[in-house]
Amino acid sequence: MRVSAKADYAARAAVELSTATDKPMKADRIAEAQDIPAKFLETILLELKHAGIVRSQRGPDGGYTLARPPEEISVADVIRAVDGPLANVRGDRPENMEYAGAAAPLTDVWIAVRAALRDILETTTLANLRDGQLPPRVAALADDPEAWVSLGRIRGTGGGGTRRRRGRAQPKVNSARS
């Protein structure tokens, strides 16, 4: 899955908004706290507003708030608001894809990919992120050292050592598959 900059920024902005309990948060404060370009953030906040995820309030005490409790807003909701469906194949729904011959099972693979994305993104809420308490299945997947190994074309510098993750050192894994 490729996470767009827009989806990444939207999720970060929404989590930042989940920390505001007393009054609306100004866009520039969100941008600064999450290192998001202010102009891009304004566009994202407008899309989140149209999707019913955030509300805006005008005036000197104005800004943005979540439209629903953070426990009711999933990461999937945020991504769909700014990028559309979680998984598509060449702009179409996976179930609409038909392949001939040996490639026929690919439809099932694309549907399974969508189901896996839903399993993670629909069960992880803004409150989970804000509180640092991921759902058990998500935490278990993220805690697997093999999950931290990039198998794509983009490679890190390689080698051993450690990297910082959630406030603790995470051992690098050397994988024959990478």
The answer as to whether 114 is a domain residue is yes
Mean pLDDT check: name the lowest of 2-11, 26-35, 108-117, 162-171.
162-171
Task: Provide mean pLDDT across the span 32-38.
Answer: 96
The answer as to whether 34 is a domain residue is yes
Report CA torsion sign: 88, 92, 94, 98.
negative
Query: What b-and-e string marks burial along 75-107, b requiring 16 or more CB atoms within 10 Å of the CB?
Result: bbbbbbbbbeebbebeeeebeebeeeeeeeeeb
Phi/psi of residue 90, each to 5°? 50, 40
Q: What is the pLDDT of residues 87-112, one digit of tens each?
A: 988 888 888 899 999 999 999 999 99
- Of all residues in the chain, what percent carry a pLDDT higher than 70? 85
Helix pair 136-143, 106-121: axis angle to 10 deg: 110
Give how many domains the chain has, as a whole number.
1
User: Does the pLDDT at position 59 exceed 70?
Assistant: yes
Confidence of residue 2 (pLDDT cuts 50, 70, 90): confident
The answer as to whether 148 is a domain residue is no
The answer as to whether 157 is a domain residue is no
Helix pair 38-50, 27-34: axis angle to 10 deg: 120
The answer as to whether 38 is a domain residue is yes
Which CATH number is 66's domain given? 1.10.10.10
Confidence of residue 166 (pLDDT cuts 50, 70, 90): low
Range of the domain at 127: 5-143
User: Does the pLDDT at position 153 exceed 80?
Assistant: no
User: Does the pLDDT at position 36 exceed 70?
Assistant: yes
The answer as to whether 153 is a domain residue is no
Higher pLDDT, 76 or 171: 76
Q: What local confidence, expressed as pLDDT, does residue 21 receive?
A: 80
Confidence of residue 39 (pLDDT cuts 50, 70, 90): very high
The answer as to whether 10 is a domain residue is yes
The answer as to whether 73 is a domain residue is yes
